Chain A
Amino acid sequence: MNLNEQEKERYCRQMLMPGWGEEAQLRIKQSRIFIAGAGGLGSPLSIYLAVAGVGTLRICDCGELELSNLNRQILHDDSRIGWNKALSAKLTLERLNPDITVEALEEKITPETVDGLIGTVDLIVDCLDNFPTRHIINGYAVRNGIPIIHAGVYGMQGQITFIKAPETPCLWCISAGTPPAVFPIVGATAGVIGCLEALEALKYLSGVGTNLLNRLLIWDGQRIEFMELPQKKITDCPVCGHLNKKG
């Protein structure tokens, strides 16, 4: 597989980054990413991954677009109210970059469906709003040795970390809670954190830069302040604890 002339031109500005070049761009083209959610976080994330030339995006969302989503879910517009969000995302992303493949998955992620939905990918990106589903994908990632970029937002605050168990804690080690079903959110907050997720993904795929391993980055938009918390494994973690014992 090579980059064609159109791709070389489309991606020339990012290929100017030291250490990137055609080699890293080709790795990005050959990559498959699973995106859990085509909502507030999934919108900026998938847009930036698409235009950066990630070869295959598997985007999963069983939800239908509602008017109240449109303050932040910039993949979609008024004309698609009632559409499945994954299908709407596919249409938008393929228009933005016709050289990539977008697979729209309309099923709900459950313990029974997770294996078939995620399949074989290089990276999973968490763009969810609930921890039960996050813990399902976390379990899949730990079982299959696939890294996850975890992020969440609330109001003007957000958090992000790069999970690669057993090198890092898994999501269970970091967070085990359940936020309320409906929460306040300013669309630009999802933009900030979703873009950071995209950057983390592109760094991982390209090999340029370092990821947020063992660090939880917290964004406070009310103060315009980034904070950071170190992260550690929980010794008896029910999800990844067995990996620590092997190590």
Chain B
Amino acid sequence: MAKISCKYFVNVLGATKKDGEIVDAPDGINVEQFLDFMSDKYGTEFAKHVYATGTLSGEPFKTPNIYLNKRRIQWVQDFPEGVKTKVKDGDEFWFGLIVGGGAGI
């Protein structure tokens, strides 16, 4: 098992009921599989915040809403394999950094 440090922000706090923990993850899994693992652990309230979805210029998008070792998984310079990047013992994930604001206009 790999020891993964997880930190939870904003909307995912409602699902985890804590702001951080060390999670034992199966060896050899990649980021995508780890997100599925965490979604199974905390259920649909957590899962709906793991990926950001929407449309831009009419085109749908779906992108992981996480940081791995303080870097966005979308940064190809850091993660050329993206969500297929292998998760390692000691990795740190931050979940739920998209936050609200002040005015719904």
B11 near A158: Cβ-Cβ < 8 Å: no
B104 near A129: Cβ-Cβ < 8 Å: yes
B102 near A176: Cβ-Cβ < 8 Å: no
Cβ distance B61 to chain A, nearest Cβ, rounded Å: 6
Q: How far is the CA of A223 from the CA of B77 in the complex (A)?
A: 32
B103 near A38: Cβ-Cβ < 8 Å: yes
Q: How far is the CA of A154 from the CA of B11 in the complex (A)?
A: 8
Q: How many residues of A contact B (CB 8 A)?
A: 58
Residues of chain A contacted by B63 (CB below 8 angstroms): 176-177
| CB < 8 Å neighbour of A151 from B9, B49, B75, B101 | B101
Q: Which residue of B lies closest to A152 (CB)?
A: B99
B52 near A178: Cβ-Cβ < 8 Å: yes
Q: Known interface pairs A172-B56, A234-B74, A235-B76. Does A154 touch B103 (Cβ–Cβ under 8 Å)? A: no
Contacts between the two chains (Cβ within 8 Å), count:
141
Produce 1/0 per residue, A68-110, CB < 8 A to B: 0000110000000000010000000000000000000000110
Residues of chain A contacted by B71 (CB below 8 angstroms): 229-230, 232
Point out residues on A near B: beta carbons under 8 Å. Answer: 36-43, 60-63, 72-73, 85, 108-109, 126-133, 135, 151-155, 157-159, 172, 175-181, 183, 185, 190, 194, 216, 218, 220, 222-223, 229-230, 232, 234-235, 238-239
**Cβ-closest 3 pairs across A and B:** A37-B103, A177-B52, A39-B102
Point out residues on B near A: beta carbons under 8 Å. Answer: 9-11, 13, 19, 49, 52-54, 56-57, 59, 61, 63, 65, 67, 70-72, 74-78, 94, 97-105
- 17 cross-chain CB contacts under 8 A: A36-B105, A109-B105, A128-B101, A128-B103, A131-B54, A154-B10, A154-B100, A172-B56, A176-B56, A177-B63, A178-B98, A179-B10, A179-B98, A232-B72, A232-B77, A234-B74, A234-B76
